C-alpha cells in the first residue's frame, strides 16, 4: 500500500495527547479568574482579563497537530519549516520533543535544509503556512507533510489566487519579511496566476501607492520606496491599473480597512466611480480571532486602569498590535514575552511599536506602583494560558502575595 504523504486534518489522536496539552498549556489560575468574571481582587490589587485572549482556534489546532505528529511517528525524524507560532516557549517545547527546525526567525530555510531531507522524514508546515516553492521542494523530496496552515490564512490565499487569476495585482497589507505574508504573496502564482503583488506595511506606504496612481509620484520614486515589497519584474505603470486588497491576518483591523479605503478612493478618482469594479476589489479577510482579541482589548480599556500587561512573543504580529493599542491608551503599558519577564520590582519588556525583528527588550524597575492598583491583562493568539497564569502569579508575588491566593 502506498504511504499517505500529505495530512491536513490531523490523525484523530487528540485523546492520546490531551494530557500533555493540558500539562503544558492549561492554567488553573486562568480558569479560576475566568469563572470570576475575568476579574481578580486582593489586598488593593485588581487584575482584569480581556474577554478574549490567548490561543485562538488556528494556533490550538497547529499545536495539537504537532503533538499528534510526534505521537504518530515516534521513530522518525520530524522537522518544521520555521517557528510553529511566534511563541518562544511553544517552539522550545517542540525542540524538547525532538522536532527539528529547518530555519528560525523570518528568513526561511536555506537550500541545504531541503537537500538533507528524505522520503522517511516528516515535515510540519506552521500555522502561517509556507510559500509554494517550499511545498514543491518537499513534494520533490517525497516527504510526509503535515499541514497546519490556519483556515483564516487559507481564506486570504483564496482571494489572492482569485485576484491573480483575473489579472489583478494583489496589494497585501502586511510585513514583507513575515512568513505569512511571504506565503500569501506566493499564492499569486497558483493555478497559472500572474504572480503580481505589492506589500504595504501601513498607511504611509499606502500613500506612496495612491500618489503614484494619481500621478503625484513617478515610477522611480515608488520603486525606490517600496522595492522590498514588489514582486519580481513589477511594473507600476502596468501592474497598478487593476488591484485587489488582501492582508496578513494579524494586522490591525482598522488599519487594513483604512488601507483598502484609501486605495478604493484613488482608483475611483483615477478611473471613475462607475468603473471601479474593473479596477479594484476588496474582501474582508480579517482573521476573526485577531479581530475578537482587538475588540476585547478595546472593551477592557473602557475600565479605568493604572497599567496594562500584554503577553506574547516579541515577533508575534498580533501581540505587537495589541501592545500598540494598549500603549496608546494606558501610559504604563508593558509587552512581555512570557510570565517570567516579571521578577518582583523589575519587568523586562519590548517597547510598543518597535519592529518585530528588532529583538529589543528593556528592563525597568519600579514598574508596579504601591497602594491600590488596577491592572489590565491580555495576550496574543499564540500565548498559552500557562504563560498568562504565570504572569498573574508573578504579579501577586511582586505585591508580596502568595500565588496560591488566586486559587483560594
CA distances from 258 to 169, 228, 262, 320, 348 (A): 18, 22, 6, 19, 33
pLDDT mean over 192-219: 97
Q: Is the pLDDT of residue 110 over 70?
A: yes
Which residues make beta-bridge pairs with 191? none
Which range (225-239, 244-258, 353-367) has the least confidence?
A: 353-367
Taking the CB of residue 241, how many other CB atoms lie within 10 A of it?
Answer: 16
Tens of pLDDT, residues 160-191: 999 999 999 999 999 999 999 999 999 999 99
Catalytic pick among 3, 15, 71, 180:
180
Please state the length of the chain: 408
CA distances from 41 to 77, 373, 375, 405 (A): 48, 10, 10, 10
Question: Between these two residues, 321 and 405, which has the higher pLDDT value?
Answer: 321
Which range (1-10, 177-186, 384-393) has the least confidence?
A: 1-10
pLDDT of residue 39: 97
pLDDT of residue 267: 98
The residues, ordered by sequence, that sit 6+ positions from 184 with a Cβ below 8 Å of its Cβ are: 129, 153, 156, 157, 160, 170, 172, 174, 246, 248
pLDDT mean over 358-384: 93
The whole-angstrom separation of Cα 335 and Cα 345 is 16
CA dihedral 90, 96, 102, 103 (to 10 degrees): 50
Cell 488591484 belongs to residue: 243
pLDDT mean over 237-255: 94
Taking the CB of residue 12, how many other CB atoms lie within 10 A of it?
Answer: 9
Q: Does residue 127 contact residue 148 with C-beta atoms inside 8 Å?
A: yes
pLDDT mean over 90-114: 88
Number of Cα atoms under 13 Å in the Cβ half of residue 6? 8
Q: Is the pLDDT of residue 285 over 90?
A: no
The whole-angstrom separation of Cα 49 and Cα 178 is 29
**Could you give all domains of the chain from N- to C-terminal order, each with its CATH number?**
25-56+289-407 (3.40.1010.20), 57-149 (3.40.50.11270), 152-286 (3.40.1010.20)
Dmax of the chain from CA atoms?
69
Q: With cut-offs at 50, 70 and 90, classify the pLDDT of residue 337.
A: very high
Q: Is the pLDDT of residue 11 over 70?
A: yes
The whole-angstrom separation of Cα 53 and Cα 181 is 23
The whole-angstrom separation of Cα 157 and Cα 188 is 8
Q: Is the pLDDT of residue 108 over 90?
A: no
Q: Is the pLDDT of residue 2 over 80?
A: no
CA dihedral 322, 333, 55, 82 (to 10 degrees): 80
Whether residue 71 lies in the annotated active site: no
Mean per-residue pLDDT of the chain: 93
Question: How, if at all, do strands 45-49 and 39-42 pair?
Answer: antiparallel
C-alpha cell at 268: 475611483
Q: With cut-offs at 50, 70 and 90, classify the pLDDT of residue 252.
A: confident
State CA 128 to chain mean position distance: 7
> What share of the chain in percent tops pLDDT 70?
99
Q: Is the pLDDT of residue 25 over 70?
A: yes
pLDDT of residue 230: 98
Q: With cut-offs at 50, 70 and 90, classify the pLDDT of residue 354.
A: confident
What is the value of pTM for the model shown? 0.89
Question: Between these two residues, 262 and 359, which has the higher pLDDT value?
Answer: 262
Question: Between these two residues, 253 and 312, which has the higher pLDDT value?
Answer: 312
Q: With cut-offs at 50, 70 and 90, classify the pLDDT of residue 1.
A: low
pLDDT of residue 357: 65
Amino acid at each position: 500500500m502506498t504511504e499517505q504523504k500529505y495530512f491536513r486534518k490531523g490523525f484523530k489522536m487528540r485523546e492520546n495527547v490531551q494530557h500533555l496539552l493540558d500539562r503544558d498549556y492549561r492554567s488553573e489560575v486562568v480558569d479560576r479568574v475566568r469563572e470570576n468574571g475575568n476579574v481578580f481582587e486582593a489586598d488593593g490589587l485588581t487584575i482584569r482579563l480581556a474577554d478574549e485572549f490567548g490561543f485562538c482556534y488556528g494556533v490550538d489546532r497547529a499545536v495539537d497537530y504537532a503533538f499528534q505528529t510526534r505521537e504518530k511517528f515516534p521513530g522518525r525524524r520530524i522537522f518544521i519549516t520555521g517557528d510553529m507560532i511566534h511563541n518562544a516557549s511553544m517552539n522550545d517545547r517542540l525542540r524538547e520533543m525532538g522536532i527539528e527546525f529547518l530555519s528560525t526567525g523570518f528568513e526561511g530555510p536555506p537550500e541545504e535544509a531541503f537537500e538533507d531531507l528524505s522520503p522517511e522524514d516528516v515535515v510540519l508546515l506552521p500555522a502561517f503556512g509556507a510559500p509554494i516553492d517550499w511545498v514543491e521542494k518537499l513534494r520533490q523530496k517525497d516527504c510526509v507533510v503535515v499541514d497546519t496552515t490556519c483556515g483564516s490564512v487559507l481564506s486570504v490565499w483564496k482571494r489572492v489566487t482569485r485576484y491573480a487569476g483575473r489579472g489583478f495585482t494583489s496589494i497585501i497589507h502586511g510585513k514583507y519579511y513575515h512568513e505569512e505574508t511571504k506565503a500569501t504573496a506566493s499564492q499569486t502564482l497558483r493555478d497559472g496566476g500572474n504572480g503580481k503583488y505589492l506589500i504595504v506595511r501601513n498607511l504611509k506606504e499606502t500613500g506612496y501607492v495612491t500618489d503614484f496612481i494619481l500621478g503625484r509620484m513617478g515610477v522611480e520614486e515608488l520603486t525606490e520606496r517600496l522595492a522590498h515589497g514588489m514582486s519580481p519584474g513589477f511594473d507600476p505603470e502596468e501592474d497598478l491599473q487593476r488591484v485587489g486588497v488582501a492582508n496578513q491576518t494579524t494586522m490591525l483591523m482598522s488599519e487594513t480597512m483604512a488601507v483598502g479605503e484609501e486605495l478604493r478612493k484613488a482608483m475611483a478618482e483615477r478611473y471613475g466611480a462607475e468603473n471601479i469594479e474593473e479596477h479594484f476589489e476588496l474582501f474582508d479577510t480579517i482573521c476573526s480571532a485577531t479581530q475578537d482579541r482587538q475588540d476585547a482589548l478595546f472593551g477592557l480599556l473602557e475600565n479605568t486602569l493604572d497599567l496594562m500587561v500584554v503577553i506574547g512573543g516579541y515577533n508575534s504580529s498580533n501581540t505587537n498590535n495589541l501592545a500598540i493599542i494598549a500603549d496608546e491608551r494606558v501610559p504604563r503599558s508593558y509587552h512581555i514575552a512570557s510570565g517570567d519577564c516579571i521578577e518582583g520590582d523589575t519587568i523586562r519588556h519590548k517597547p510598543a511599536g518597535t519592529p518585530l525583528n528588532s529583538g529589543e527588550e528593556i528592563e525597568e524597575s519600579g514598574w508596579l506602583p504601591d497602594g491600590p492598583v488596577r491592572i489590565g491583562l491580555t495576550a496574543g493568539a499564540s500565548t498559552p494560558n500557562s504563560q498568562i497564569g504565570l504572569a498573574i502569579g508573578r504579579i501577586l508575588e511582586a505585591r508580596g502575595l502568595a500565588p496560591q491566593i488566586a486559587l483560594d
